[in-house]
Amino acid sequence: MDNNPPDFELTNNLANVLNHIVNSDFKNLFEDHKFAINQIELMSPQSILLLSDRKNWTIWKLSNYTSNSGILTHNWMPDFMNIYAKNKGINDSLTMDRIGHSLNDLIKNRYAEAIILSNKENENIKMGAIRLTKIGNFIFKYLEKK
pLDDT at 11: 80
Mean pLDDT of the chain: 86
Cα–Cα nearest to 117, from 71, 68, 75: 71
Residue 96 included in any domain: yes
Cα–Cα nearest to 96, from 73, 78, 76, 108: 78
pLDDT at 12: 83
Could you list the residue range(s) of the whole structural domain that residue 137 is in?
A: 8-143
Mean pLDDT of 122-145: 90
Residue 60 included in any domain: yes
pTM across the whole model:
0.75
Is residue 1 predicted with pLDDT exceeding 60?
no
pLDDT at 91: 92
Is residue 71 predicted with pLDDT exceeding 90?
yes
What is the number of structural domains in the chain?
1
Mean pLDDT of 87-91: 94
Residue 2 included in any domain: no
Sign of the C-alpha dihedral, residues 132, 107, 51, 3?
positive
